[in-house]
């Protein structure tokens, strides 16, 4: 395993982050694995040298955090040997204040996350989305209070315009509050709009980039996953022009004798400013491929081939499809955002 600093902090994280959203209830995701099946993947990740784990309170409405806390307890993980990240924003109940980024919700959400994770602090506490219904000053002061209380060491953000991120950072700096050290954004060969402004901003400011969906929910593996549970939920995720990008991934993979997943991850790992892609796992090869991608060195020509077919698209912040069977969760997320953008 390779390790690097998270942004300009002194915190060392594995270059592959382990995503925990795949574990929990099938009411959350039809393919979600229960605790008994999740445990081996946590052990496999730890054995591979992965020390960076990313979760969120809204994953299975807290169940994913509970599973992680139980898994670490059963495995016997030393708290000082792992870097735990979780997120706040999504609806955690029916009450109007059980969602978003107001001070009240953040105060309760961090305590609930710590209880479920069975720890007294998280290393990285992230806002899952930007809440337009709460003043930015309130958001940043509430997050600062989480840090000063010792319940989080660092804070991070996710999925927003670069100008919004810069505004929040400026507010924190002006008031002497804690600033974000990381940006968790969607970034892969099928979605590269973050290269325009957000990633250059992060590089300039020393903010670590920890992208989610590095394989575009499996599309970059070359499979449309038709006829599977996942295909029933993830619909119209790919644009017609994305087929050409996937074809190039398959072309480079075949020429190398590697899996498409390794090639797509290897490309992402070459990108400037990138700290660690967040990789989920429901099969043994998912972690194996992610770790193996660290040793793949793509040539300039291979990188050109992979990047050439990309067609620009409008910025998307959390526009992945919500599970159609979970209309209440979808509506709650839309309400928290304050507009009709669909959110995963």
Distances (CA, A) of 30 to 54, 224, 236: 20, 17, 18
For 52, phi then psi, to 5°, come to -110, 115
Active site residue 42: no
DSSP strands (E only) in the chain: 3-5, 12-14, 17-19, 52-54, 83-88, 122-127, 152-158, 180-184, 208-209, 278-279
Q: How far is CA 186 from the centre of its chain?
A: 8
- Number of Cβ within a 10 Å radius of residue 298: 17
Pairing type for strands 12-14 and 3-5 reads antiparallel
For 183, phi then psi, to 5°, come to -130, 120
- Which of 336, 7, 343 shows the shortest CA–CA distance to 204? 7
- Strand, helix or coil for residue 17: strand
Of residues 23, 59, 125, 187, which has the active-site annotation? 59
Which residue is it, tokens 């390794």? 262
- Determine if residue 334 is left, alpha or beta; phi over 0 gives left, psi from -120 to 50 gives alpha, anything else beta: alpha
30: its two tokens: 């039809």
Distances (CA, A) of 29 to 23, 24, 233, 303: 9, 8, 8, 34
For residue 154, with 0-12 CB atoms within 10 Å meaning exposed, 13-18 middle and 19 or more buried, which class applies? buried
Q: Among all residues, which ones are annotated catalytic?
A: 59
């Amino acid at each position: 395993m390779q390790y690097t600093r998270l942004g300009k902090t002194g915190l060392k994280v594995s270059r592959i982050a382990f995503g925990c959203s795949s574990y929990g209830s099938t009411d959350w995701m039809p393919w979600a694995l229960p605790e008994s099946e999740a445990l081996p993947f946590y052990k496999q990740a730890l054995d591979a040298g992965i020390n960076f784990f990313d979760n969120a309170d809204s994953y299975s409405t807290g169940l994913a955090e509970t599973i992680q806390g139980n898994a670490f307890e059963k495995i016997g993980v030393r708290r000082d040997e792992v870097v735990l990240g979780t997120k706040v924003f999504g609806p955690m109940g029916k009450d109007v204040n059980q969602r978003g980024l107001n001070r009240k919700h953040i105060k309760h959400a961090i305590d609930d996350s710590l209880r479920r994770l069975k720890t007294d602090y998280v290393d990285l506490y992230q806002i899952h989305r930007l809440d337009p219904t709460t003043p930015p000053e309130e958001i940043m002061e509430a997050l600062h209070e989480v840090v000063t209380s010792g319940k989080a060491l660092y804070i991070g953000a996710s999925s927003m315009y670069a100008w919004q991120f810069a505004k929040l950072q400026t507010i924190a700096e002006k008031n002497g509050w804690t600033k974000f050290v990381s940006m968790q954004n969607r970034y892969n060969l099928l979605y590269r709009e973050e290269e325009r402004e957000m990633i250059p901003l992060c590089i300039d400011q020393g903010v670590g980039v920890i992208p989610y969906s590095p394989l575009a929910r499996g599309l970059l593996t070359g499979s449309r996953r038709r006829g599977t549970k996942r295909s029933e939920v993830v619909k119209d995720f790919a644009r017609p022009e994305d087929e050409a990008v996937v074809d190039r991934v398959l072309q480079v993979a075949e020429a190398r004798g590697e899996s498409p997943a390794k090639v797509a991850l290897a490309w992402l790992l070459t990108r400037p400013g990138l700290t660690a892609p967040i990789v989920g796992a429901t099969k043994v090869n998912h972690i194996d491929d992610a770790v193996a991608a660290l040793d793949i060195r793509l040539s300039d020509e291979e990188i050109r081939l992979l990047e050439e077919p990309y067609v620009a698209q409008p910025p998307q912040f959390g526009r992945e499809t919500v599970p159609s069977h979970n209309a209440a969760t979808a509506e709650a997320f839309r309400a928290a955002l304050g507009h009709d953008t669909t959110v995963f």
